[in-house]
Structure 1
Amino acid sequence: MKDGTPHSEADLRAGHRKRLRERFLSDPSALPDYELLELALGCVYMRRDNKLLAKRLLARFGCFDGLLSASSEELAGVEGCGPAVDSFLVLLREIIARASQSNVQQKQAITLPDIVEMGRRRLKHCAEEEVWAALLDKQNRLLMFKKIRHGSMDHVSLEPLEVVELMIKSRASSLVLMHNHPGGTYMPSQEDRALTGRIALTLRQLGLFLHDHVIITSDAAFSMMRDCRLK
């Protein structure tokens, strides 16, 4: 193309994206949030200008954490945001959760705060209740972090026998249970307390141990052990 010839819209987008990428690689922390999101959205919509969509998403959800917590229905309400963005955010959430889990799994002995942080990475953005178990060996090393049950927006069921079977199958000596309360309070319900007591008693009778049952919300984690709900 000769000098003075008008650039096409595609050329302008490519040039802008190249400059944005170069600025990011030079100093990732220097980019404002909307430009960082714009760059990420380039992996979703590769042939369009994503600056306006990035600004709309941040205006709607406030921050990256709010965006990662957004439901499919909420995302669909943002102009220019299609199902591909929803899928991309699901991918990001899964990568973040697995990175946290692999970090804990590499430790020789882990602490309850390690497990809680791993659980928060996995559960804080979930729109429906799930029950997960961190299964530990006798040296308190993480054997497995596994989803036991998937429920609805405000309820998930679990039986002590399911926990026993999982521990025996994985040869675990102890575990930390956790589940989330999407959009709700971190305080345990009466059902949560009763179930936790039944599970603790059942495991104790078999020489197994429940360290804690932790409830996760978008911005908090509640330990039933610290609150003396387990005895």
Structure 2
Amino acid sequence: MKDGASSSESDLRSGHRKRLRERFLADPGAVPDYEVLELALGCVYVRRDNKLLAKRLLAQFGGFDGLLSATSEELADVEGCGPAVDSFLCLLREIIARASESNVQRKQTVTLPDLVEMGRQRLKHCADEEVWAALLDKQNRLLMFKRIRHGSPDHVALEPLEVVELMIRNHASSLVLMHNHPGGTYMPSQEDRALTGRIALALRHLGLYLHDHVIITSEAAFSMTHDCRLA
């Protein structure tokens, strides 16, 4: 009896998932968030009914953006959510970030909004502070987007010489620096402002240029150029 019941439940799940997938493919925008997440979780827990877990996750984190920002510890507190979900979300974040970078890389000339959006996709979900550099050539084409430093949840150290060496090594003419504030405040600290000034001065002496230093949070981005900090 147990085998028969198990087989019947498996068939029901398979049939439900097939119907859900067909509805999604017919009109993705008409499928509610929890069912979209339920489909995605089917890649993690193949033999499980994931509807309840999908609803729990969205309720706990307030939607997809909050879910993508969730830490391993926060996910572990949700009933039925194991390490496989954490790994899956990490993979999704990386795919989204790389897609954004590829889009900017293809452009003949990039703008600051292009770079800021690329930086937000890379940094807005990070639990620790990181410094990234978007290196540009003389035609303002993106040469690379590279992490320079990884820090702690509330601090990351950087020296102007590291930026200078990175630009020279990669034949860059200018750059946009970006780093995140996981705590949520987008305003630069006094240390951020002082460091930005030292980097801009060091580059100027070599005929190189710092376009901007952008502070990124999960909700916003702060441009030091627009705030006249690089005048």
Measured against the shorter chain, the TM-score band is: over 0.9
Taking the aligned partners of 1:74 and 1:151, their CA distance within structure 2 comes to 21
Q: TM-score, normalised by structure 1?
A: 0.97
Q: Which runs of 4+ in 1 moved over 4 A?
A: none
Aligned to 1:39: 39
1:130 and 2:130 correspond? yes
Equivalence map 1:180-195=2 (5 Å): 180-195=180-195
- Letter paired with 2:200: A
Aligned to 2:28: 28
Taking the aligned partners of 1:203 and 1:173, their CA distance within structure 2 comes to 10
CA offsets per residue over residues 165-208 of structure 1, 9 Å max, x none? 10011100000000000032100000000000000000000110
Other structure's SS at 1:157 match: coil
Aligned to 1:17: 17
Could you tell me whether the CA contact under 8 Å between 2:184 and 2:219 is conserved in 1? no
Other structure's SS at 1:81 match: coil
Taking the aligned partners of 1:205 and 1:184, their CA distance within structure 2 comes to 34
Aligned to 1:66: 66
1:48 and 2:72 correspond? no
Aligned to 1:115: 115
Taking the aligned partners of 1:44 and 1:166, their CA distance within structure 2 comes to 39
Aligned to 2:158: 158
Aligned to 2:140: 140
**Superposition deviation, residue 158 in structure 1:** 0.3
Aligned to 1:168: 168
Could you tell me whether the CA contact under 8 Å between 1:183 and 1:218 is conserved in 2? no
1:83 and 2:46 correspond? no
- How large is the Cα RMSD of the aligned pairs? 1.0
Taking the aligned partners of 1:206 and 1:184, their CA distance within structure 2 comes to 35
**Superposition deviation, residue 226 in structure 1:** 0.7
Taking the aligned partners of 2:62 and 2:14, their CA distance within structure 1 comes to 28
Taking the aligned partners of 2:147 and 2:216, their CA distance within structure 1 comes to 14
Taking the aligned partners of 2:30 and 2:184, their CA distance within structure 1 comes to 35
Aligned to 1:204: 204
- Letter paired with 1:144: M
Could you tell me whether the CA contact under 8 Å between 1:173 and 1:208 is conserved in 2? yes
Taking the aligned partners of 2:13 and 2:112, their CA distance within structure 1 comes to 48
Taking the aligned partners of 2:124 and 2:89, their CA distance within structure 1 comes to 14
- Letter paired with 1:58: L
- Letter paired with 1:139: Q
**Superposition deviation, residue 230 in structure 1:** 1.1
Taking the aligned partners of 2:58 and 2:97, their CA distance within structure 1 comes to 22
Taking the aligned partners of 2:134 and 2:203, their CA distance within structure 1 comes to 15
Structure 2 spans left out of the alignment, 5+ residues: none
Could you tell me whether the CA contact under 8 Å between 2:224 and 2:230 is conserved in 1? yes
